[in-house]
């Protein structure tokens, strides 16, 4: 039986931490659906089409290397609803630290009540990506800083174009 996982997030922007989770998930699952959360009340740094393109550019080589089918979608409802819609039996999440652990455990417990057939798997972050957050990357980028240590090359190039001075 084909094992399908759903990885949700805003991916605004995609970080090396996100890519770390994708690498780990691709080693386990036959199909990985990356689901970009779209919320009308939030003002993203990158529009959803650009995030889709960047996810495709950065994650496709990882999926291809492991033979994992990769699908990139958007959703604007519950993660459990998106998982069910795409026949995913697992939601994957990354954990950087204890703060993430507390929040993600709460979310996993709520998801399990709403959708008992959908499991959550947590991947601890690799040490090199543990401090990276999309929020900090956005702050660095909007202030003209160098984000290359924190994001894939295509993302760094996209952000540099968006925020180049002069």
Domain ranges for the chain:
4-130
What residues form the annotated binding site for ATP?
10-11, 18, 94-96, 104, 129-135
Residue 22 near residue 32 (C-beta atoms within 8 A): yes
49-79 pLDDT, tens digit per residue, is 999 999 999 999 999 999 999 999 999 999 9
Q: How many degrees, rounded to 5, is the angle at CA 42 between CA 5 and CA 135?
A: 70
Q: Which residue has the tokens 């689901």?
A: 35
What residues form the annotated binding site?
10-11, 18, 42, 79, 93-96, 104, 129-135
CATH, range 4-130: 3.40.50.620
Q: What is the pTM of this model?
A: 0.94
**Residues paired with residue 122 on neighbouring β-strands, in sequence order:** 93
Whole-number Cα distances in Å, 109 to 7, 102, 114, 115, 116: 17, 11, 9, 10, 10
103-159 pLDDT, tens digit per residue, is 999 999 999 999 999 999 999 999 999 999 999 999 999 999 999 999 999 999 999
């Amino acid at each position: 039986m084909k094992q399908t996982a759903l990885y949700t997030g805003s991916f605004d922007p995609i970080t090396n931490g996100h890519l770390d989770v994708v690498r780990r998930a691709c080693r386990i699952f036959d199909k990985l659906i990356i689901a970009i959360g779209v919320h009308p009340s939030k003002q993203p740094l990158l529009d959803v089409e650009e995030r889709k393109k960047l996810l495709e550019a950065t994650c496709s080589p990882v999926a291809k290397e492991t033979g994992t089918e990769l699908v990139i979608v958007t959703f604007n409802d519950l993660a459990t609803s998106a998982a069910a819609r795409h026949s995913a039996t697992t939601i994957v999440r990354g954990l950087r630290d204890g703060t993430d652990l507390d929040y993600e455990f709460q979310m996993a417990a709520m998801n399990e009540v709403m959708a008992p057939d959908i499991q959550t798997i947590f991947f601890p972050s690799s040490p090199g990506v543990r401090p990276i957050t999309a929020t900090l990357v956005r702050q660095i980028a909007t202030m003209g800083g160098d984000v290359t240590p924190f994001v894939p090359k295509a993302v760094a190039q996209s952000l540099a174009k968006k925020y180049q001075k002069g």
